[in-house]
Amino acid sequence: MTDEETKPFNLNMHTARLLMREPFFAALSRRIDKTESTSIPTAGVRVNPHTAQFELLYNPEFMGALKEEHQLGVLMHEFYHIILEHVTGRKPAHGLQRIDNIAMDLAINGLTEMRGKLPSESDPGPMMPSGEPMQGVFPGEGPFVELPAGKSYEWYLEALKDMADKNKEEGEGEGEGSEGGEPGDGDPFGGADSFDDHDQFGEVDSTTQEIAKERLKEAIKQAAEEAEKSRNWGSVSYSMRADILDRIQTKVDWRKVLRYFVKTSQRADKRSTPRRLNKRFPKIHPGKRVRRQAKIAVSIDQSGSVDDQMLAAFFSELNKLAGIAEFTVVPFDTEVAVDKVYTWKKGQNKKTERVMRGGTCFNAPTKYVNNGNFDGHIVLTDLCAPKPIASKCQRMWMTTKANAARPYFQTNERIIAIDA
């Protein structure tokens, strides 16, 4: 046995090869973290509670035991859990049960592009901890032979509940054929279960989930644009392409994007306080109060391209975000009016006057922000100037609808239209 064969399977080293013929998934994969984990038996996706990034967790022994076509199938299966918002959907009050997990997998495995890509009864995968070989659940096969392909998670969930109810009425379940569908004698689902880990679906707080959803929209948008540009979506079906394009063509609410930008710029400020209990040393040390705050620079183009109506709408939204961020207003044209820079405070009605009348150079505010201690940079402008130098913090451009559609320069940074 060679050294290569004894090394643990590293998914990051194999992803490009596995997705060579799947340009859409390859582009999406670059925006999803992939982390080795022996805490799960197979694979699973989640929102990382610390970074709000989507993360694919995989057991290297499990992934390494799969044949190549099945490795590709597992990758696509996990990515579809993200695309179809199974990860960020509202978790049932009773938590995810086996019946929910099966319904999600039926919605994915019944897709045209998933045919033959996952282990099945006729082509099983490696042995699972249960002692049974790994195999997926598929509409039209096994206990789900009467279920059609191409339906949603919600549709399959209702169909499975009907199966469980029918099984119970016929007296075969003896309590085992309930909606939870635990395997055993009289199991309406024939012992079938999801092969991957869904335990962390819907587990993060609402703020983290909101951030993750915005990141998902952006990731899918960029991956779809790459696939459209190359005119190559790989095996993604026409119906799924239409569904994906419909998701990204939904009108963007600039107010939500602004809130998302501010929240992703926040950093934690931990301070000791006797009002909070220290769970580890309750009688020795005070507890910690965590306050998340962001320092955001707002650079305003003084060339006349930003009108009063647009400014009024923008600052109205800042007023709602003042509790979670500090905003510094930076007027500029070809240079920054340093003596006119000020910190904007909640409830402040100070009108931003035109203090300069020159052209536009984005390097000036970028250098000013790079030299400061800022967590984020928002630029209000018409975008009619050359591409600036790189920003040390995340940067977003806000402009009119017409200018957002035809920016002067190309950038991977977000450009948002304010419809005041």
Q: Which 3 state secondary structure label does DSSP give 131?
A: coil
Give residue 173's pLDDT band: very low, low, confident or very high (50, 70, 90): very low
Report angle CA 213, 218, 221 to the nearest 5 degrees: 125
DSSP string, 90-105: PPPTT---HHHHHHHH
User: Per DSSP, what are the bridge partners of residue 187?
Assistant: none
What is the average pLDDT across 206-220?
83
* 204 or 365, higher pLDDT: 365
240-284: pLDDT as tens digits: 999 888 877 766 678 888 888 888 887 755 445 555 555 555 555
Parse the chain into domains and list their residue ranges: 8-248, 254-275+291-417
Q: Which amino acid is at 288?
A: K
How far apart CA 152 and CA 379 sit, in angstroms, is: 41
Mean per-residue pLDDT for 71-84? 95
Given a contact cutoff of 8 angstroms between Cβ atoms, the answer to whether 269 and 290 are in contact is yes
pLDDT over threshold 50, residue 1? no
Give the closest residue to 160 by CA, choosing from 125, 194, 195. 194
d(CA 281, CA 4): 47
161 Cβ contact list (under 8 Å, min separation 6): 99, 179
- Angstrom distances, CA of residue 178 to CA of 137, 183, 184: 19, 10, 11
Distance between CA 299 and CA 356 in Å, rounded? 13
Claim: this prediction has a pTM higher than 0.85: no
* Structure confidence at residue 401 as a pLDDT band (50, 70, 90): confident
Is the confidence at residue 233, as pLDDT, over 90? yes
3-state secondary structure of 8: coil
* Mean pLDDT score, 172-183: 48
Residue 154 has pLDDT above 90, yes or no: yes
Whether the predicted pLDDT of 77 surpasses 90:
yes
pLDDT at position 170 is: 77
Q: Is 201 helix (H, G, I), strand (E, B) or coil?
A: coil
At the topology level, CATH places domain 254-275+291-417 in Rossmann fold (3.40.50)
Is the pLDDT at 62 greater than 90, yes or no? Answer: yes
Instruction: Compute CA distances 412 → 22, 78, 184, 221, 394, whole Å.
Output: 22, 26, 53, 12, 11
Residue of 304 and 115 predicted with greater confidence: 115
> What's the pLDDT score for residue 323?
80
Mean pLDDT, all residues of the chain: 84
Pair 187, 181: CB distance under 8 Å: yes
Is it the case that residue 182 has pLDDT exceeding 50?
A: no
More confident residue, 78 or 292: 78
